[in-house]
Amino acid sequence: MRLSGAEPLLGQSSFEHLCGLLEEINRSDPRMEFVLETNGLLLGSNHSFAKRLAEFKRLQVRVSIKGWDEESFERVSGAQGRFFELPLKGIKNLIDAGVVSWPAVMYEIFGSRGIEEVSKRLKELKIKPEELEIEYLENYPFVAENLQKRSVPLIDKMI
């Protein structure tokens, strides 16, 4: 199973709802695994959330990185640039807590230069940059509109 789209971790109450769902999954079919996709902000702001997620052994967490520095993070995510480090810290907190997790970036937004820059940041946190998942943008109309409003230039896909 995979939970994706919007942001499933918006605060303490949504986190508790997620934990309730994970408890149900733990009681269900033992072959079932659960992948949580998140921006990692909540997980980077408080390591206790990552520790709590470590209780769920069939959980995997994919953290979507939205920029390679404060400026790009602000432009892509719409959040203040000062929060740029939180997703990176979130991945570090998850790894330290023993949760299977990895970072992901969109090629069309990062390009080779952005991927190289975020890989350096991951190395600084002792996160293996080779675990960085490269994903490709599904350019739905609302996505294109949001990126255009934020003046985010898109890079052509790798050939």
Q: pLDDT tens for residues 81-116?
A: 999 999 999 999 999 999 999 999 999 999 999 999
Q: Is the pLDDT of residue 10 over 90?
A: no
| Residue ranges covered by each domain of the chain | 2-149
What pLDDT band is residue 12 in, cutting at 50, 70 and 90?
confident
pLDDT at 154: 85
Q: What angle do CA 48, 98, 84 make, to 5 degrees?
A: 60
- Cβ atoms of 109 and 148 within 8 Å: the answer is no
CATH of domain 2-149: 3.20.20.70
| Residue closest to 109 by CA, chosen among 143, 142, 85, 82 | 143
pLDDT given at position 97:
97
Entry pTM: 0.87
pLDDT at 16 over 60: yes
**CA separation for the pair 79, 119 (Å, rounded):** 21
43 vs 13 pLDDT, higher one? 43
Q: Which residues contact 8 (CB under 8 A, 6 or more apart)?
A: 14, 18, 36, 37, 38
Provide the pLDDT for residue 159: 44
Q: How many residues appear in the chain?
A: 159
User: Would you state the pLDDT for residue 102?
Assistant: 96
